[in-house]
Each structure stands twice: as C-alpha cells, then as structure tokens.
Amino acid sequence: MRPLIARPPTAFTDDQLRAILVATAAADAASPGTTSHSAFLDRFIAGVARATGRIYGQPVYVRLLSAARIGRRPSAPTWSAAIARARTLPGLLLPTDVSSAAAPAVSGIGQLSAMTAGAGVPVTPPVPDDVTEGLREWKMRVGIAEATARNAHTRLAALESAQAHWIERATSAEAARRTAGERLTVVEAAHAAQAAALLARIDALTVSVDRLSGLERHLRLQTDQMRQECGQQAQFHRMRAEQAEQALARERTQTDALRRVLGNRAPTAG
C-alpha cells in the first residue's frame, strides 16, 4: 500500500495577509455590483499574485473571499476562465511552480501518516476533506483576524498619539485663551476708564458750550441794544446838525441883510 503524501498547507505571512486584504478591498471597490465578476476576479487574482507570487486554485481564492467577508459567488467556469487568464499574463507571477498550487493544500496530518507508514507503523486514515477544509478556513480567518487586530492596534496607537498631541494643543490653546481673557479684561477696564474720562470731559464741554451760548445771546442782545441806541443818537445828532445848519443859514441870511443895510447906510452918513 503506497503511503499518502500530502501537500504542505497553504499559509500566508502577516504582510501577505495584509496585502491580500488590501487587494481584495480594492478589487471589490473597483468592480461594484454582482454582475462584474470577471473584472473583479482579474483584479483579485492579480492582487493575490502580487502579494504572494503565486496563482492558487479556486478553493483557496474562495476561502480568501470568505475570510475577507466578500459576498461574491462567481460560478466555476468564471473562476476557471479568470485563473487561466491570470496564468497567461506576462510578468504577473514570480518564478514559482504554479501547478502544485492549483489545488488546495491539506493539513500536516497527511504528511505525518506518510512518515509513520514508511517506518512500518500502521497508517492512520486521513482526516476527511471537509474537516481539513474547515480547519484551514478557520486558520486563515484567524490569521486575517490577527493581522486585522495588529493593524487595529497600530492604528489605535497612532490615534492615541494623535489624541495626546491634540490634547496638548488644546491645553496650550486653553492657556492662551485664559491669558487672552485676562488681557481682554485689562483692556476693557482701561477702555471703560477712558470712556468715563471722555464722558466727563464731554459733559464739561457741554456745560461750557451752554455758558458760551448764553453769553453769545447776551452779547447779541447788548449789541442790538447798542445798535439801536447808536442809531437813535445818530438820528438825534443828525437832526441837531440839520437844525444847526438851518440856524446858521438864517444867521447868514440875516447877516447878509444886515450887511447890505449897513452898506447902504454908510454913504449917507458921510
């Protein structure tokens, strides 16, 4: 009886799992909807190949999609056509043996059975395929979950660092706000004092203006009164001047008449 020789189980490193998750999400986002399976599979298989350097069979890809929570379910012909297209693309794969990766690998129990059979130990029946497939799927999910958890811890550490940075900035801003508030209080007090001084000065100027307005009215009244008095005095003196001129004219007339009378009398007396 020929011993059973099992292939090594399909395993991925943390970096490969992270790259596969990123490639799966990018392929799903680049091919929205459930009708673009061919375009999605081309991008998905190419992304897995870039992450691992290998092309796998449909079961491995199906487990990867299930572990990544992708609900796409392409048909078997669509899978076969997509894998065939991927194998024909130049430069997609690194130099590896892809024929052995076309089918899913079994667990290490088969290899242990082969070793015990070669040593004359009765061969233990292999584990059923459905159990092996379930174990591999759960191991893959656990690996993806661990990688996701590490990424989450890394992001959480970055978020905590950013939170500490923003808390420090907020503390500085709060201190600056308090300082600005104190300065604003001082400025407001100085402004209030200046405003009170200005109001007092305005009140004093208002009183002075009122006084000057009363003085101006008084001076205006006095000026009007003096103008009236001067006008009356001018009219009186004008009348006196006219009367004096009239009296002077009468005196001149009388003087001329008297001179004529005296002139006429002078020759008679001689």
Q: Is the pLDDT of residue 9 over 90?
A: no
Q: Is the pLDDT of residue 15 over 80?
A: yes
Q: Is the pLDDT of residue 46 over 90?
A: yes
Report which residue type is found at 5.
I
Q: Is the pLDDT of residue 79 over 90?
A: yes
- Residue at token pair 């001689």: 270
How much is the pLDDT for 136?
Answer: 65
How much is the pLDDT for 128?
Answer: 46
Average pLDDT over residues 126-135: 52
How much is the pLDDT for 28?
Answer: 87
pLDDT interval class at 55 (50, 70, 90): very high
pTM of the model as a whole: 0.37
Residue 151 burial class via C-beta count within 10 angstroms: exposed 0-12, middle 13-18, buried 19 and up: middle
Angle between helices 58-67 and 76-88 (to 10 degrees): 110
- Cβ atoms 46, 92 nearer than 8 A: yes
Question: For the ranges 18-22, 99-103, 163-167, which has the lowest average pLDDT?
Answer: 99-103
Average pLDDT over residues 221-235: 88
* pLDDT, tens digit (0-9, with 9 covering 90-100), for 80-109: 999 999 988 766 654 443 333 333 333 333
